[in-house]
Amino acid sequence: MSLLRLENINTFYGGIHALKGVTLEVNEGEIVTLIGSNGAGKSTTLKTISGQVKPKSGTILYNGKDITNTPPHVTAFDGIAHVPEGRRIFPRLTVKENLEMGAFSVKDRKVIEERMERVFHYFPKIKERLHQKGGTMSGGEQQMLAIGRALMMQPKLLMLDEPSMGLAPIIVEQIFEIIHELNEEGMTILLVEQNAFQALQIAHRGYVIQTGEIVMTGPGQELLVNEQVREAYLA
Amino acid sequence: MIEQVLHTLPQVLIDGLALGAVYAIVALGYTMVYGILELINFAHGEIFMTGAFVGTAILLTFSGLGWITSMPAIITLVLVLIVTSVLTGLLGMGIERVAYRPLRNAPKLITLITAIGISFLLQDLVRFITELKNGNYILTGPNLFNKQIGIEASSILSVFNDASVKSSFFIVLGVAIVMMITLDFFVNRTKWGMAMRAVAQDRETAALMTVNVNKVIALTFFIGSALGGATGVLFAVQYGTIDPYIGFILGLKAFTAAVLGGIGNIRGAMFGGILIGLLEMFAAANLPIVSHGVLGAEYKDVFAFAILIIVLIFKPEGLFGKVTVEKV
């Protein structure tokens, strides 16, 4: 069953037609990746889903519910966690407070503690830095914190916007491993990446977006060996 | 000359602390709103003034009903503070909703000019209502705490002159400190305070954490304006006579205090306020002495704003501020 479905979404930035009739689907339990070059509309797609940007036309269905014009704090409450591009850690909140922000809608202190323990299980490094300010951490640590913060929401759908951006290859490797692990444990993931090779390797299905249009879709392994994809994104 | 300066020092410290506490809390309102919206809310001085009028009006009503003599003064004051701060808090929230929120995505200058417009509007509105009710827009409230207390500073150091304090000084200072500690606790130790800081740092991302940003901004305006209004009451209690224009200069000085402490920084604003109050009183007492009568005490305002200029030139991020790097 599809957890998320975009139908013919058109989004504009002023006069710029950023998404031209995007249709895509994420099924429960899948990793779906959206790949494409800079400015193709990958981030805009995620922002449109979470409600940061309003589409001009089209519908977004989540869990059978129309969330096309839902503001971001409500989509988040409904279970869609969006880890934005550039991680966007709160720089002057401590690491612990950053995590607590992720569980802002949770009132029960005990639930928050439990979720935090789970985040430490995935990212043991975070635990050592709880009382440090978020802005003082390295890029890789910030990315882990950003994902950890999203996990604090215990989302049904985790959307990641270029988690590999600007990170050393070994860190990228670690992060993709954790994404894979999260999925194995049942988390549905929509992954936006410029690093097409890494993304397609762990994805069940992929979409290729070019200047705001979905130009190709198929299973991850298939796209990985596709001539056009190889030439444009894997060369 | 030094001796003369020292003579007046105890009195300067007392008066400076009372004034500084007032500046500090009004500065909090500026700094909180700036921190969250990057807006210099010039109407905040007028919220303070409105608080002074609302408080005085309530006190006058009480005294008309004869309650002032039958109730302990401190209970009367607490009652007036609570009612006034709720009213001015709602006023601030209303202003944000009606005037600033529709301009959330407009260029900063437009919101700034709107704030100045709101400030004029409040001045004239308060003046109009007061004149209508009172026949005169200058208002003198009943004196709640007018006992004079002598402080024998000369017994500490013989060079000091004795100082005298109105009992309201202790009330003003006490209430101000309680308000500052409470706010500091709220912002740094509670969930909604954390949400406030998160929204100030990254509004978009805070929304992704299920935070209703509009609610947090409204809350910020409520708290800032409630504190500002309550401080207006304290001002009226301490200084007695008020007019609709007290918010203007005082607001500017509180703003100076906020800049001095590093705008957006809550503890900085408290510190800046106290410092400006002390410096101003020091200047008022000593300018005529130091300049041999060339500069009168009324030059104290020049003194306060000279500080603003010096801070802006040499340390624009303020004493406690962080240098912000413009993001590309």
For residue B231, what is the domain's CATH number? Answer: 1.10.3470
List residues bridging with A2 in a β-sheet: A27
Q: Which amino acid is at B52?
A: A
Answer positive or negative: Cα dihedral of A106, A109, A113, A116.
positive
Is B324 a domain residue? no
The ipTM estimated for the assembled molecules is: 0.94
Q: A175 — phi, psi (to 5°)?
A: -65, -40
B203 lies within 8 A of chain A by CB:
no
Is B65 a member of any domain? yes
Does residue B321 lie in a domain region? no
Q: What is the mean pLDDT of residues B235-253?
A: 93
- Tokens in use for A57? 């036309």
Distance from CA of A139 to the nearest CA of B (A): 17
Domain annotation covers residue B202: yes
Residues contacting residue B249 through CB under 8 Å, at least 6 positions apart: B301
Report yes or no on A33 lying in a domain. yes
Cα gap A43→B201, rounded to integer Å: 21
- A165: domain CATH number? 3.40.50.300
User: Cα separation of A46 and B292, whole Å?
Assistant: 70
Q: Which residue of B has its CA nearest to A84?
A: B205
Structural domain boundaries enclosing A226: 2-87+158-234
In a domain, A93, yes or no: no
Q: Looking up tokens 């030094």, which residue turns up? A: B2
B272 is a domain residue: yes
Distances, alpha carbon A180 to alpha carbons A27, A43, B201, in Å: 16, 21, 31
Length of chain B: 328
Q: How many domains is chain A built from?
A: 1
Q: For residue A97, which of B110, B187, B255, B66 has the smallest C-alpha distance?
A: B187
Domain total in chain B: 1
B35-52 pLDDT per residue, tens: 888 899 999 999 999 999
Cα gap B209→B221, rounded to integer Å: 21
Q: What is the per-residue DSSP string for B65-86?
A: TTHHHHS-HHHHHHHHHHHHHH
Do A158 and A165 form a contact (C-beta atoms < 8 A)? no
Contacts of A88 in chain B (CB under 8 A): 202, 204-205
Angle at alpha carbon of residue B204, lines to B203 and B206, rounded to 5°: 65
Establish if B184 belongs to a structural domain.
yes
Closest by CA position to B188, among listed A132, A129, A134, A92? A92
Cβ neighbours of B202 in A, within 8 Å: 88, 90
pLDDT greater than 50 at residue B327: no
The Cα diameter of chain A in Å comes to 52
Residue B167 has pLDDT above 90, yes or no: no
Residue type, B276: I
The mean per-residue pLDDT over the stretch B231-242 comes to: 93
CA distance B75 to B68: 10
Q: Is A112 part of any domain? A: no
Intervals of chain A under pLDDT 70? 235
Chain A contacts to B (CB-CB under 8 A): 50, 52, 71-74, 76-77, 81-82, 84, 88, 90-93, 97, 100-102, 104-105, 149, 153
Q: To probe the interface with A, which of B189, B210, B324 has the most A CB atoms within 10 Å?
A: B210
Taking only Cα atoms into account, the Rg of chain B, rounded to an integer number of angstroms, comes to 20
Question: Which one of B191, B194, B212 has the shortest CB-CB distance to A93?
Answer: B194
Side chain identity at A74, as an amino acid letter?
A: V
Asked if residue A139 belongs to a domain, the reply is no
Q: What is the mean pLDDT of residues B201-225?
A: 97
Question: Would residue B230 count as lying in a domain?
Answer: yes
Q: Are B160 and B87 in contact (CB under 8 A)?
A: no
Interface of B with A in 161-190 (CB under 8 A): none
pLDDT band at B328 (very low <50, low <70, confident <90, very high): very low
Q: Which residues of B touch A102 (CB under 8 A)?
A: 209
A84/B197 Cβ within 8 A: no
Predicted local distance difference test score (pLDDT) of residue B181: 94
Indicate which of B36, B197, B203, B205 best probes the interface with A, i.e. most A CBs within 10 Å of its own CB: B205
In a domain, A114, yes or no: no
Residue B66's contacts (CB-CB under 8 Å, 6 or more residues apart) are: none
Query: Is B149 part of any domain?
Result: yes
Contact A228, A35 (CB under 8 A): no
**SS3 track for chain A:** CEEEEEEEEEEEECCEEEEEEEEEEEECCCEEEEECCCCCCHHHHHHHHHCCCCCCEEEEEECCEECCCCCHHHHHHCCEEEECCCCCCCCCCEHHHHHHHHCCCCCCHHHHHHHHHHHHHHCHHHHHCCCCEHHHCCHHHHHHHHHHHHHCCCCCEEEEECCCCCCCHHHHHHHHHHHHHHHHCCCEEEEEECCHHHHHHHCCEEEEEECCEEEEEEEHHHHHHCHHHHHHHHC
Q: What are the pLDDT digits (tens) for B291-317?
A: 887 888 888 888 888 888 998 899 888
CA distance A20 to A213: 5
CA–CA distance, B320 with B263 (Å, rounded to integer): 9
A174 Cβ partners below 8 Å, 6+ apart?
A140
Q: Token pair for residue B270? A: 């408290």
By the 10 Å C-beta count (0-12 exposed, 13-18 middle, 19+ buried), B224 is classed as: buried
Token pair for residue B231?
């401080």
The parent domain of residue B137 ranges over: 2-314
pLDDT tens, B131-143? 999 889 999 988 8
